[in-house]
Structure 1
């Protein structure tokens, strides 16, 4: 993510209702040089997405009140965020086929927990298209 010869730090939003997940993912991605925001709910995540315009989003599928799928549907309607790369991470190995198909049709990647830290870094790089440098 660079323009005019100067490097731009990629912005990543993590949305998960498990604080240990958001803390660990945030810490690891910051060590890799990303600018990271974390939200503990889909609603908070949507507010952060509108305020900070992340270059990629990694979110949990199963969250109270508003699900990751509802977040994905919403972000796909927000100008400036419609094409933001999104990965949905879930521990639900028995995901409903209709949900999986909708996630794919909305252009999001689907990954399964546990997501090891190396996999997280690779996922962020894949979503962004290339490694980011300071």
Structure 2
């Protein structure tokens, strides 16, 4: 299911962020915050919909949840990195799991993902988005 995929970037926006999270309130909040900062936003409520959007939109960066049903954030990241047209897209994993196993953290980092922990406050989200698109 795709949520908020039709959100339009503001006129000054040149960068599109794809948000992938199974929590619609997180997707809505992150989308609004990023749009207010001038980013274009595409968003999905599942990893499967996120992969479809990533293929079609070719975002400048991706912010995704780690724990999602069916396909989790690590699996999504592996799939994105296997696509030649998405291999260099900067990605941040956002998780509420402060006890993420070190082996998973290592793999996330080896696949080029930044890791951030929830809650992610407005200033942290904006700084993360700016860091990702400048990478």
Cα shift readout 1:53-73 (whole Å, capped 9, x = no counterpart)? 000000000000000100000
Residues 1:77 and 1:19: Cα distance change in structure 2 (over 3 Å) = same
Instruction: Determine whether 1:94 maps to 2:99.
Output: yes
Which runs of 5 or more residues in structure 2 are unaligned? 1-11
Between the aligned partners of 1:8 and 1:76, the Cα distance in structure 2 is: 26
Q: Tell me, yes or no, if structure 1 residue 128 matches structure 2 residue 133.
A: yes
1:82 and 2:76 aligned: no
Q: Which structure's CA Rg is the greater one?
A: 1
Structure 1 match to 2:30: 25
| Matches of 1:8 and 1:92, distance apart in 2 | 32
Give the corresponding residue for 1:112.
Answer: 117
Deviation at 1:19, TM superposition (A): 0.3
SS of equivalent to 1:110:
strand
Q: What displacement does 1:8 show?
A: 6.4
Match of 1:52 among 57, 77, 94: 57
- 2:52 counterpart of 1:37: no
Count of equivalent residues: 124
Please, what is the CA RMSD of the aligned residues? 1.2
Give the TM-score taking structure 2 as reference length.
0.89
- Runs of 4+ with deviation above 4 angstroms: none
Return the structure number with greater relative CO, CA threshold 8 A, min gap 6. Answer: 1
| Aligned equivalents of 1:35, 1:80: Cα separation in 2 | 19
